Amino acid sequence: MTGLDLSSPVAVVGTGTMGQGIAQVALVAGHSVRLYDAMPGRAQEAAEAIGARLDRLVAKDRLAAGDRDAARARLHPARDLADLADCALVVEAVLERLDVKQELFRALEDVVDDDCLLATNTSSLSVTAIGGALRNPGRFVGLHFFNPAPLLPLVEVVSGFATDVTSATRAYEMARAWGKTPVACADTPGFIVNRIARPFYAEAFAVYESQAADPATIDAVLRECGGFRMGAFELTDLIGQDVNESVTHSVWQAFFQDIRFTPSLAQRRLVESGRLGRKTGQGWYDHADGAERPEPHTAEPARAPSYVVVEGDLGPASDLLALIREAGIGVREEDEDHGTRLVLPSGGQLALADGQTSVEFRDVVYFDLALDYRRATRIALSASQDTSSQTLTEAIGLFQALGKDVSVIGDAPGMIVARTVARIVDLAHDAVAKGVATEEDIDTAMRLGVNYPLGPFEWGRKLGRNWAYALLDDLHLRDPSGRYAPSLALYRHAYASDKREGTSS
């Protein structure tokens, strides 16, 4: 059996924001929905709130009035669990506590039929552990919707250790029938999205903690250069600092305090101070009415160099050459096999972020990775205290001549976008190697679940097979804590590429 027949009632237990959203999705798909909450009166309140949202959809011409009336007629608050006895699916969205969820599903197992599919919407707990309390854990599966459930298309279908293939298939097909985009994954900490997204926050916070840049500048670079919809600081203010830190802490603990997932001390202090983001009016930013948003650091206008010399292959930044020529700046190309850089008239060098630091070299300015150098509106540059002012000025002027705002940050190896993308690519390869999900499902999950401009494997193909490995390897040499150590899966990926090209690793 695959999916659920529309004649089959569906139950949602827990009537908070997520529970209401899941119930609305099932209703609009055509199911009869039973709402249950352990708190008296909550189910009725939730039903009224869902009805009000359906009214707003009608007002916006997103739902026909007749369909709304039919959906309302199919929505039934339940007084106790016994009212869920004939349901073909029960989805739980209650408190994120293992004991609470286990107790609920033990009670449900005594009520529903043997072929009823039981599902948890947990985002941080082990699906295997929750299902382990059941007599028949084979019918138990994770259905992780993203908030707001009626709007966001992604659903992670999580198979616990004991989940039957038929149960996972039914859940997958049901999500697709409800108009969602399901991805299949194994029961691992963070599943797909919350596991692979950790570096997006962690690396932004690390750059901030190293005093290389302020939150407004880091956010602007992630948006305007990296192509991400929001920066890490503004996004965590929206999510809630306590919520984001809790997920990070949960993933870190579940991976036995793996250093790659270490939480941020700066974020911890923010939570301890009660500055949780938009919901408290203060987080990384001040969200009070009339508060002025801090501006990113933007360099003053500088004179562009008359020419640049290209040594080697600029790789992911090769599109810059056409932009430089279009700006009327001369480009002289030299076939050098020892570098991938631009040499400025001062003799200083301009290089794509590679995991090394400016202070190691005589006169080097690094520039950050961009999703699309033509469309990017901002470029970050990194220099050390020993970089000559003339070289830095020429580098600033060059990118300004290409129509970019320029943010100069401290000497942070891997800069902002480059180190973030490299770590995301690495975690994605590691997840595939460990059987968490397929490459296709990971790319889909990261694009739809957190609105990344590209999935990790799409990034990898765009940047070259060994780009992420090389950058992380250089970062690991400079920070041997293990945080940036490339995974064995990424090493194999890069080494296989080198072997095909006839080179050694």
* Set 32, 167, 194, 358: catalytic member: 194
Neighbour order of strands in the sheet with 33-36: 75-77, 33-36, 10-13, 89-92, 117-120, 140-145, 154-159, 181-186
Catalytic site includes residue 394 = no
Catalytic site includes residue 76 = no
Q: What are phi and psi of 63, to 5 degrees?
A: -150, 135
Catalytic site includes residue 147 = no
- The bridge status of strand 89-92 relative to strand 117-120 is parallel
Cα 102-104-107 angle, rounded to 5 deg: 110
* Set 109, 156, 234, 245: catalytic member: 156
CA distance linking residue 417 with residue 367, whole number of Å:
10
Tell me which residue of 4, 315, 290 sits closest to 172, measured CA to CA: 4
Residue 113's SS3 state is: coil
* Set 32, 123, 159, 382: catalytic member: 123
CB neighbour list of residue 340: distance below 8 Å, 6 or more residues apart: 311, 312, 313, 314, 315, 351, 352
CA distance linking residue 144 with residue 158, whole number of Å:
8
CB neighbour list of residue 93: distance below 8 Å, 6 or more residues apart: 12, 13, 14, 16, 18, 19, 22, 121
* Set 31, 144, 297, 429: catalytic member: 144
Q: What are phi and psi of 282, to 5 degrees?
A: -150, 130
Chain-centroid distance of CA 112 in Å reads 36
Q: What are phi and psi of 185, to 5 degrees?
A: -150, 160
Q: Running DSSP on this structure, what letter comes out for residue 317?
A: G
CA distance linking residue 272 with residue 169, whole number of Å:
43
As a whole number of Å, the end-to-end CA separation of the chain is 49
Residue pair 449/185 in contact by the 8 Å Cβ criterion: no
The percent helix, strand, coil of the chain (3-state, each to 5) is 45, 15, 40
Q: Give buried/exposed letters for 105-137 (b at 16+ CB in 10 A, else e).
A: beebbebbeeebbbbbbbbbbbbbebbbbbeeb
**Which residues belong to the active site?**
123, 144, 156, 194
